[in-house]
Amino acid sequence: MDQKLDTKAIVAIVLCVAFIVFYQPILKMLGYGKFLEPPRRAPVATTDTSRGGPAPGAPALPGPNAAAPGTPAASGALASGGGNASSPPSLGVFHPVQAQLERTIEVETPLYHARFSSRGARLVAVELKRYASAHGASSRHGRAKRYPRGAEVEPGDRVTLAGGPLFGLDLGSGDGLHSLANVVFAESESLDAAGSVRTVTFTHQDSSGFFVRQTFRVRPDTYAIDYETELRGVPAAWRVSDYSLTARSWPLLTEGDLLSDARGLRATSLVGSNIHREHAAGLVKGAKRFDGNATWAVVQSRYFMCGAVVQQAVAHGVISSAERKDLLPEELAALPPGAKAQQEIAINSLALGLPSDLHPTNRFELYVGPCEYKRVAALKIGLERAVDLGWNWLLPFSTFLLKVLNWLEIVVHNYGLAILLLATLVRVLLHPLNMTSMKSMRAMQKLQPEIERLKKKYDKDPTAMNTAMMALYKENKVNPAGGCLPMLIQMPMFIALYQVLFNAIELRQAPFIGWMHDLSAPDLLFMVGPFPIRLLPILMTGSGLLQQALTPSDPQQKPTMYMMNVMMLVFFYNLPSGLVLYWTVMNLLTALQQWLAMRQDGDSPVAQPVAVAAGASGGRKR
């Protein structure tokens, strides 16, 4: 009997082991393998919270969205998106305790008017009180109403950054992102002594014990906002290991030069020691992820930006993406006729590790405002590198020239005159180098007949030809590189000036004279049908031809040089008038220096033929 029991026990054990080992292959063989896989999140399109529905043509990044509180999806799980019944159920996250109504919180400071929403705890929009839009209520033909410097702009004319929403927090990152856009947070406010809102706090806790708090503290004298997050009690079953802070760009309705503004739209981030400037037009084709110790991430147009700087958190990367968005009818109506009805929207997300329950608080600095180098640098948070003034090695030149430009404007009260003075100052400082270069070029021009004679004489003996030319240069005290070397030394200065004049917000809507109403945009004299007639690039080309006529050069190369001036006309035709003005003045000053060099040059004799010693060409005698 005991033996039979022992035999039955052994058989049972063997069957149990066989079941454990072979049940998965058997289920897969029978077609039931899908029941062995863990539940998957169903990817959906991004929700445009400003319109309460999926954004048209939105990419798969980011992923699932939370359903609104009070709906069946919200009470049990994140919305699976798209409503496909065949999709596996998504992972449950929020279980709201009770449905709440959405609230809008308005915050006023001397610099801006901000609007927050309790739905998703989003920063929805910011109106900048000191900056006028080129397409505001009082604008005419893309020209903003002129306001005194530092004066408050009327509400209908202000630059408005409204990214739908502009900034928000979500769980997860990348393809695993779970939007909290439709979760309504509890909201509280703190006032200062004058009764103005200075702190806005959003909190939410679901039935699983997960708790999130977001606190925005505004500072009246700056565009920076102290931002604090607190996340606790994230259940392990949710399989969420990080969260995201996402900034979105706004419809480009602020600038008269829409083309330059669209070209400047990008997602910029500092990861490690590398700055990544990803243009929205390229990101539409696919998102980019940059892994590493991220310091900040912003979205920016040509003159304005929004984003977050890490103060106390573990940021392990940045995800930059973009999407195309249809303009609302009222937005399209504000633009000139023929403007595109669809624009790119840049999206930049900081991916951050979830904090521990012992230290659940992370701190950041938000910045929503102008890309003004001096103002941003004063915050001392490293965000000034987002203002594009050139490569790192150019920054000392660029920042110095920007300071000089601003100082000159304080003196003359006009940025057009400041550009004229800056160009003159640069030419005066570089005058010795320029004169050395010009004299060297004219000396080389005088040697051209003798150089051509030596080339013909030693056309079959390169060694003898080089020896003869070096002797010719030495005898006439001419350095063949003397014309190029001073120009190379000046190149960093010229490149830095280009960056400053193209990107400095100080030139935005700055007038000069007559038809030049905005130094940050191309000048416009009149239209011939759809073609704009711009006087300043034509004057620049004329100044270039004058400079070329006074510049010593090989007669055979003159047609090529004249063609270069025509190419410069095409290249500069749609560039900002401040940059074209600078180049025009530089051409005229260079022509003046050429004329002075010709007067000082005199009639020095052309070098006599040079004899080459025997053996200079390997024993051959000439």
Burial category of 149 from C-beta neighbours within 10 Å (exposed 0-12, middle 13-18, buried 19 and up): exposed
| CA dihedral of 233, 237, 242, 243, whole degrees rounded to 10 | -70
Residue-level pLDDT at 372: 95
Summarize pLDDT for 512-529 with one digit per residue, the tens. 988 898 999 899 888 888
- Token pair for 32: 């039931």
How many Cβ atoms from other residues are within 10 Å of residue 246's Cβ?
28
Instruction: Tell how far CA 178 is from the center of its chain.
Output: 26
Buried b (16+ CB within 10 A) or exposed e, 178-199: bbbbbbbbebeeeeeeeeebbb
Residue-level pLDDT at 436: 73
Q: Are strands 112-117 and 122-132 parallel, antiparallel or unpaired?
A: antiparallel
Average pLDDT (139-167) is: 89
Summarize pLDDT for 563-593 with one digit per residue, the tens. 888 899 999 999 899 999 999 998 999 888 8
What are the chain's domains?
Answer: 170-386 (2.70.98), 415-601 (no CATH)
Contact yes or no for 476/607 (Cβ under 8 A): yes
Residue-level pLDDT at 472: 79
Name the pLDDT band for 244 (thresholds 50, 70, 90): very high
Summarize pLDDT for 214-243 with one digit per residue, the tens. 999 999 999 999 999 999 988 888 889 999
CA distances from 276 to 124, 167, 320 (A): 26, 20, 9
HSE-CB for 576 with a 13 A CA cutoff? 31
**Torsion sign, CA atoms 605, 611, 613, 619:** positive
Residue 52 in this model has a pLDDT that exceeds 50: no
Q: Please report, for the chain, how many H helices and E strands are present, in that order.
A: 14, 21
Mean pLDDT of the chain: 80
Q: Which pTM does this prediction carry?
A: 0.76
Summarize pLDDT for 482-501 with one digit per residue, the tens. 656 666 767 888 888 889 98
Question: When comparing pLDDT for 23 and 339, which is higher?
Answer: 339
List the alpha helices (DSSP H) in 306-430: 329-334, 373-377, 395-412, 415-429
Question: When comparing pLDDT for 350 and 515, which is higher?
Answer: 350
